[in-house]
Amino acid sequence: MQDLNPFGSRLRLRDGIEYFSLEALERAGLGFVSQLPFSIKVLLESVLRNCDGRLIREQDVAALAGWQPQGRNEAEIPFMPARVLLQDFTGVPALVDLAAMRSAMARFGKDPARVEPLIPAELVVDHSIQVDYYASPDALEKNMKLEFQRNLERYQFLKWGQQAFESFKVIPPGVGIVHQVNLEYLARGVFLQDGLAYPDSLVGTDSHTTMINGLGIVGWGVGGIEAEAGMLGQPLYMLPPEVIGFELTGQLPEGATATDLVLRVTGMLRRHGVVGKFVEFYGSGLSSISVPDRTTVANMAPEYGATIGFFPIDAAVIDFLRATGRPEEQVALVEDYCKAQGLFRTDVTVAPRFTETLSLDLATVEPSLAGPRRPQDRVTVADLKASFEKALTAPVVEGGFGVPEGEKDARIAVTVDGREGELGHGSVVIAAITSCTNTSNPSVMLGAGLLAKKAVERGLVPPATVKTSLAPGSRVVTEYLKDSGLQPYLDQLGFYTVGYGCTTCIGNSGPLPEPVAKAIRDGRLVAAAVLSGNRNFEGRVHPLTRANYLASPPLVVAYALAGTIDIDLTTEPLGNDRDGKPVYLRDIWPSRAELAEVLRRALDPDKFHQVYERLDAFNPDWNVIEVPASVLYDWPPESTYIQEPPFFKDMPPAPPPVEPIEAARVLVLLGDSVTTDHISPAGVIPEGPAAEYLRSRGVRPEDFNTFGARRGNHEVMMRGTFANVRLRNLLVPGKEGGITLHLPDGEEMWIFDAAMRYRQEGVPLIVIAGKDYGMGSSRDWAAKGPKLLGVRAVIAESFERIHRSNLVGMGILPLTFKPGQNRETLGLSGRERYTIPVDDASLQAGGELEVTATADDGGRVTFPVDVRLNSAAEVEYYRNGGILHTVLRGMLKRT
Q: Where are the beta strands (DSSP E) in 94-200?
A: 121-124, 168-171, 190-193, 196-199
pLDDT surpassing 70 at residue 852 = yes
Q: Which sign, positive or negative, has the C-alpha torsion 828, 832, 837, 839?
A: positive
535 band by pLDDT with thresholds 50, 70 and 90:
confident
**What does the pLDDT average to over 303-316?**
96
Predicted confidence (pLDDT) at residue 478 exceeds the cutoff of 70: yes
Q: What is the pLDDT of residues 247-273, one digit of tens each?
A: 999 999 999 999 999 999 999 999 999
Is 369's pLDDT higher than 70? yes
Alpha-carbon distance of 15 to 8, in angstroms, equals 19
Task: Encode 306-333: b = buried (16+ Cβ within 10 Å), e = exposed.
Answer: bbbbbbbbbebbbebbbbbbbeeeebeb
Distance CA 610, CA 860 (A): 69
The predicted model gives 774-783 an average pLDDT of: 83
Residue 139 has pLDDT above 50, yes or no: yes
* Angstrom distance (rounded) from CA 700 to CA 149: 13
Burial of 672 by CB count in 10 Å (0-12 exposed, 13-18 middle, 19+ buried)? middle
For residue 354, name the pLDDT band (cuts at 50, 70, 90): very high
Contact 494, 456 (CB under 8 A): no
In this prediction, residue 480 carries a pLDDT of 93
Q: Is 50 exceeded by the pLDDT of residue 489?
A: yes
Q: Is the pLDDT of residue 169 over 50?
A: yes
Domains in the chain: ranges and CATH: 83-364 (3.30.499.10), 380-603 (3.30.499.10), 646-680+728-893 (3.20.19.10)
Which pLDDT score, from 0 to 100, does residue 1 have? 43
Cα separation, 568 vs 91, in Å, equals 42
Q: Please state the rounded mean pLDDT for residues 672-693.
A: 90
Within the chain, how many helices (H) and strands (E) appear?
Answer: 31, 34
Question: Does the pLDDT at position 12 exceed 50?
Answer: yes
pLDDT at 590 over 90: yes
Whether residue 209 contacts residue 78, with contact meaning beta carbons closer than 8 Å, is answered with: no
Instruction: Report the sign of the C-alpha dihedral through residues 504, 507, 508, 513, in that order.
Output: positive
Does 440 have pLDDT greater than 90?
no
* Average pLDDT of span 418-434: 96
Q: Which helix (H) or strand (E) holds 247?
A: strand 243-249
User: Bigger pLDDT: 600 or 416?
Assistant: 416
Count of other CB atoms within 10 angstroms of residue 626: 6
pLDDT, mean of residues 90-106: 94
Per DSSP, 65 falls in state: H
Read off the pLDDT of residues 864-883 as tens digits, 9 standing for 90 and up.
999 999 888 899 999 999 99
d(CA 81, CA 231): 9
One-letter amino acid of 565: I
692-703 per-position pLDDT tens digit = 999 999 999 989
Top mean pLDDT of 318-322, 393-397, 806-810 is at: 318-322
Q: What is the pLDDT of residue 667?
A: 98
Tens digit of pLDDT for each residue in 24-66? 999 999 999 999 999 999 999 999 999 988 888 999 999 999 9
Q: What is the pLDDT of residue 796?
A: 98
Residue 75 has pLDDT above 80, yes or no: no
- Whether 438 has a pLDDT exceeding 90, the answer reads no
Residue 3: its pLDDT value, please? 54
H/E stretch holding 816 reads strand 813-817
Edge-to-edge strands, sheet with 545-550:
378-380, 368-370, 545-550, 527-531, 428-433, 467-470
**Residue 38: closest CA among 347, 261, 299, 314:** 314
pLDDT score for 14: 94
**pLDDT for 73:** 67
Question: What would the pLDDT profile of 713-734 be if each residue is shown by its tens digit?
Answer: 999 999 999 998 889 999 999 9
8 A C-beta contact, residue 140 and residue 499: yes
Burial 98-127 (b: 16+ CB within 10 A, else e): bbbbbbbbeeeebebeebbbebbbbbbbbb
pLDDT band at 601 (very low <50, low <70, confident <90, very high): confident
Q: Are 615 and 171 in contact (CB under 8 A)?
A: yes
Q: What is the pLDDT of residues 646-658, one digit of tens each?
A: 999 999 999 999 9
